[in-house]
Structure formats: structure tokens, C-alpha cells
Amino acid sequence: MKKNSTTVMMLMMCFCAPFLMAPGGGCDSPEEHDRQAVEQQQDVYQTAQPIPHFDFSLEREVAIELYQARNQAVATHSVWRSMSGIIEGDCPSIGYPIPYDSSLTNPLQTAYPGSSGAVIAMAEPNGLFPGQGGAIATWVRCVNDHGTAPVYVESIVTTYPYPVDVDYEANRVRPVAGARPTVLVGQPR
């Protein structure tokens, strides 16, 4: 049996050797052929349409400004809706909601200490570890006559950086006429 498999291997090498020497030839699998075709196409794109280089990124600037805004105690107004879109509640609020599954410590741990190749979460610039997407609940900091109260909301929350009129009967939210936003981002430099 060992002699037969050695013979088959030698025959395959003899058959493939001329093709391996020829340009573009070989005993490639269909997957290898597809990989080479994709690489060739990517080379064409890189020459004809190279990835641009920017000296400034407006999207990055806006993301930075959003982190800065989220780190300020600005006046906002939060409205929450059911999964079917019906307004369930609202309140004047401070800042932006905090996803319920955000954490002060890293929620991901390796199963075995010292194991390599494990992917772990990194804290965001605000010092929190982002949630893993398992919860849609949110903490809203609602303002009332007694101060700021944390309200746990399991509905979809929208927070506006300006006062709004909430019409429960029409199921509509509209900005208060002439209201100035407490947060502006992406302004021209």
C-alpha cells in the first residue's frame, strides 16, 4: 500500500512539474485560482484607483466631537418608543443615554490564563467598555424638580440636543420652534 501511494505521488509530481514551471500554470485548486484572480484584480484597482490619502477626516473629527459632547452635562430631551414605534415616555434629560450593557471593567476574559490569540475589548475614550450587543436597554438621566434620576428604559431611545414637543396622540416628536441645540458637531473650521 505504501509503495502504491508513493508511486501515485511521484506521478502527480511528474505531471504537475511542467505546469509549475510555465508562467501562470500549476496544479492549483479552484480556490487557489480564485484567490489569484482576486489578487490580480486588486492590483488593477490599486493602480487605477489607489486608496486616497487625506490630511483631514471630517468623520473622525465628528466622532471626536461626539465623544466630547457625550462627556458634558448638556441639556437634552429623551423620548423612548416601543418596538412598534409607539411613544412610551419622554423626559428632559442630561447628556446622552448610556447603553445598559456598558461596563466599567472589561467584560471579556480569556478562558485559560496565559492563552494567546485571545481578542479582548478595549475601553473607549470615555473609560467605558462597550456592550456586546446583548441588551437594548438604556440608562436615561431624566431631570425633574428633585434633580437627575436614572431611568432604566428597555425601549428604543432617541435623545435630542434641543427641547422637543412630544405629541402622544399623533405619535410625533417635533423640535420646539426656535430652540437652539446644546450640542453642535462637524462645524466648518
pLDDT band at 1, cuts 50/70/90? very low
For cell 472589561, the residue is 106
Query: Whose CA is closest to 130, among 107, 157, 153?
Result: 107
Same domain, 81 and 17: no
For residue 8, the model assigns a pLDDT of: 47
Condensed to tens digits (0 to 9), the pLDDT of residues 13-30 reads: 555 555 555 455 556 789
Same domain, 153 and 96: yes
Condensed to tens digits (0 to 9), the pLDDT of residues 102-123 reads: 888 887 766 566 666 666 777 8
Does residue 65 sit within a domain?
Answer: yes
Does residue 109 sit within a domain?
Answer: no
Does residue 189 sit within a domain?
Answer: no
Q: Which residue has the higher pLDDT, 136 or 83?
A: 83
Count structural domains, the chain: 2
For residue 180, the model assigns a pLDDT of: 92
Same domain, 161 and 78: yes
Show the domain range for 33.
2-48
Condensed to tens digits (0 to 9), the pLDDT of residues 43-65 reads: 999 999 999 999 999 999 999 99
* Alpha-carbon distances of 115 from 42, 118, 129, 131, 144, rounded to whole Å: 35, 7, 22, 23, 50
